[in-house]
Structure 1
């Protein structure tokens, strides 16, 4: 009976043991992959100060046989943000707006924008006095007042200069009217 149990244990172990040939082929292929990637040189990328045109915002892509990183494959505005972070610069200025005071017509809270339109969320003063109310500002209408707390926000355009081109013309549908469109202009910014 002892011999029967021993034979059964040996048979079970033999069934689950991997053949030695498979282990050797696997380790050899890993060595070949490492040897292939060591021969390649790493291509450098342009820094934020070297970006001059839109064509400079295309990454080099990944080397053959490698997995791309964000710096390898990012393009456009995402690449600009990553290059800025590598140099310690906040391209999009994500710091919160000043909520220690209420903006007035004489001293509004400034919201910088690189585009024609900008949205700002007002939570009141002091912060979190009311729910977030989103205020839309544009280059044509840069000042907006919060209907809940009365705080005034002003959009400051910091984008590229217009070189005689009319970028404000939109072919889309007309913007919906609000009650603010029906008040007298002289009452708008009191």
Structure 2
């Protein structure tokens, strides 16, 4: 009985096996590859001067590209910076060891015109996250829950003042607009 079952199982496998052993082989050919070997050199972080320098060389034909070879733009700039020990986006958490005051606020660095900061309270995680919007026009914000003060430190490019008048909507007025400056 046992031999009959095993003979049937072997016969089934033999009939199906040739169909399963068929392999797939694909080949990708880059027809627009640049033959200049100087363009294949990976530039370092300090050699990046223009946006065109942030395009990777790609992988050699027949190989799988690494993140460094295939990344472009800001991702490539971040990878090159990390390779040289530079944190491009400054991903360190804010100082949560103290409560920010008006005289000594918690500094939030920003390369853009506005930045959001999440306050979790003092001591840390004493309340749910409250998001505060900081901008160049209004760089100081106070958390309504714990009272911690945050100030945006602008580290982006200097304003060129070449007649670009990008006036957004006017900031809505509140009671704080009418408080005397000496009460701040």
TM-score (norm 2): 0.73
Structure 1 residue 88 displacement after superposition: 2.5
Structure 1 position 101, deviation (Å): 1.1
Q: Is the 8 A contact 1:105 1:152 kept in 2?
A: yes
What is the alpha-carbon distance in structure 2 between the residues aligned to residue 73 and residue 17 of structure 1?
39
1:27-46 → structure 2 map (5 Å cutoff): 43-46=40-43
Query: What residue ranges of structure 2 are gaps of 5+ in the alignment?
Result: 29-36
1:151 matched residue in structure 2: 148
Say yes or no: does 1:66 pair with 2:63.
yes
Identify if the C-alpha distance between structure 1 residues 63 and 103 changes in structure 2 by more than 3 Å, giving closer, same or farther: same
Aligned residue number for residue 116 of structure 1: 113
Unaligned runs of 5+ in 1: 34-40
Whether 2:177 is the aligned partner of 1:183: answer yes
Offset of residue 84 of structure 1: 1.3
Residue matched to 1:38: none
**How far 1:129 sits from its partner (Å)?**
1.4
- Which structure is higher in helix share? 1
Please report the TM-score for the alignment, with normalisation by the length of structure 1: 0.71
Q: How does 1:101-180 map to 2 (within 5 A)?
A: 101-165=98-162, 169=166, 174=169, 177=172, 179=174
Higher Rg? 1
Cα deviation digits, residues 21-57 of structure 1 (max 9, x gap): x78xx6xx79x99xxxxxxx89331111111122211
Q: CA RMSD in A?
A: 3.5
The whole-number CA distance in structure 1 between the counterparts of 2:56 and 2:110 is 26
Match of residue 80 from structure 1: 77
In structure 2, what is the Cα distance between the partners aligned to 1:183 and 1:140?
Answer: 13
Distance 2:5 2:89 in 1: 73
- Tell me the CA shift for residue 163 of structure 1: 2.4
Shift of 1:121: 0.5
SS in 1 for 2:180: helix
Q: Distance in 1 between matches of 2:49 and 2:113?
A: 22
Figure out how many residues of one structure are paired with residues of the other and give that number: 171
